[in-house]
Homo-oligomer: A and B are copies of this chain.
């Protein structure tokens, strides 16, 4: 079986190394040889520390797709432009495809699925979500008998690294982001990671696999971690909670809930223990109950290992002549289903305010909360001071998000309240 690789970036180079260093093992495990036969990259001059002398090299990806010795095309260039052309071109040429491109899958999933079905070929993308963890395979096949009720995932290692650092060292978001950038855990422009867009792309893919629902990324309410302050992590701990950037999907009354946002979870939960750049996904099925999958979310070799797992699956299918054994999302047809609007969703909330240290301030706030029917589960007045203000922290009971938002808007207009409120959802299910 011949493999063509388009894109010799970090992961692509990692894959070439896996072929070079683990190829004999992999052949032995398969019982037949799989070979990297052709690579394409716009820059072939750079030394990548891997010997490609016996592999055909092109600067034009079309030559890889057209090569009759190539049975499987691996797309690792990223983005939604040329990458889309590569995937569609490969399928049209009758090749099966492996990609790790979550943005492309999230934004063009329907188009890619249709192209694969039309071509009678497979498209696999295990590495696109939670890197090395074979959670897509678990959802697509292992749990395919089950009806998934909820999914909670830590699917962005950059954010989890920054939050873990803030928690452990009590440092600011900006300082921890800087360190993550210095260590290569965050990119120079970290927006896609820290603002939650990367997580939302992954959630869109997971919605298809776990709930059989096709949703548009732009309909997923998304909030990143840039507004989280070290004091919020500290106060969370006083309530036995930790803050994680969670991607959440749930079957709820009236529809599907989906969102990406910083979320407080019990520190006794397994997800709360997932630290540093690790990823984890917890799925609850009607039959199977909760199962959790945890591992490296990124990195050249872990990601290349997941890509190679897909290559091996396709190679095995090619060998027995069995393309399209499992649809790429594990199900024959996805339901198009609008997501619940976030204002219709209920939850418990953490609310942190800076309040002038003067009589009557607290009374005014609790008055607004009461007027919106929001009941307080617990309250904390930590001994911090900032100029003439003090922090006040509430945990609410279950309330409609829309009510909470309205109450917070009114509270922020009170004379005794300084600056913006911090609002973070508390998830008790984990």
Count of chain A residues with Cβ under 8 Å from any Cβ of B? 64
Cβ-defined contact, B294 with A292, below 8 A: yes
Mask of A331-344 contacts with B, CB within 8 angstroms, 1/0: 11100000000000
Cβ-defined contact, B29 with A142, below 8 A: no
Chain B residues with CB below 8 A from A323, complex form: 320
Cβ-defined contact, A296 with B292, below 8 A: no
Q: Do A301 and B287 contact each other (CB < 8 Å), given the known contacts A145-B309, A309-B142, A309-B145?
A: yes
The CA-CA distance from A29 to B148 in the complex, in Å, is: 13
Give A136's nearest chain B residue, CB to CB: B142
Chain B residues with CB below 8 A from A143, complex form: 134, 305, 309
Cβ-defined contact, B288 with A306, below 8 A: yes
Asked whether A372 is an interface residue with its Cβ less than 8 Å from the other chain, the reply is no
Q: Do A302 and B320 contact each other (CB < 8 Å), given the known contacts A22-B145, A29-B332, A30-B332?
A: no
Give A131's nearest chain B residue, CB to CB: B288
Q: Do A313 and B141 contact each other (CB < 8 Å), given the known contacts A29-B332, A292-B295?
A: yes
Give A287's nearest chain B residue, CB to CB: B305
Give the interface SS of chain A, mostly helix, strand, loop or mixed. mixed
The CA-CA distance from A124 to B270 in the complex, in Å, is: 29
Asked whether A126 is an interface residue with its Cβ less than 8 Å from the other chain, the reply is yes
Extra inter-chain contacts (7) besides given A26-B145, A288-B295, CB under 8 Å: A22-B145, A134-B141, A137-B142, A138-B138, A287-B301, A289-B296, A291-B296
Asked whether A132 is an interface residue with its Cβ less than 8 Å from the other chain, the reply is yes
Contact of A291 among B31, B291, B293 (CB under 8 A): B293
Chain B residues with CB below 8 A from A295, complex form: 288-292
Q: Which chain A residues in 170-213 approach chain B with CB under 8 Å?
A: 212
Cβ-defined contact, B332 with A324, below 8 A: no
Cβ-defined contact, A320 with B330, below 8 A: no
Contact of A322 among B29, B299, B306, B320 (CB under 8 A): B320
Cβ-defined contact, B141 with A309, below 8 A: yes
Q: Which chain A residues in 242-282 approach chain B with CB under 8 Å?
A: 268, 270, 273-274, 280
Considering residues A280, A291, A311, A330, which has the most beta carbons from chain B within 10 angstroms of its beta carbon?
Answer: A291
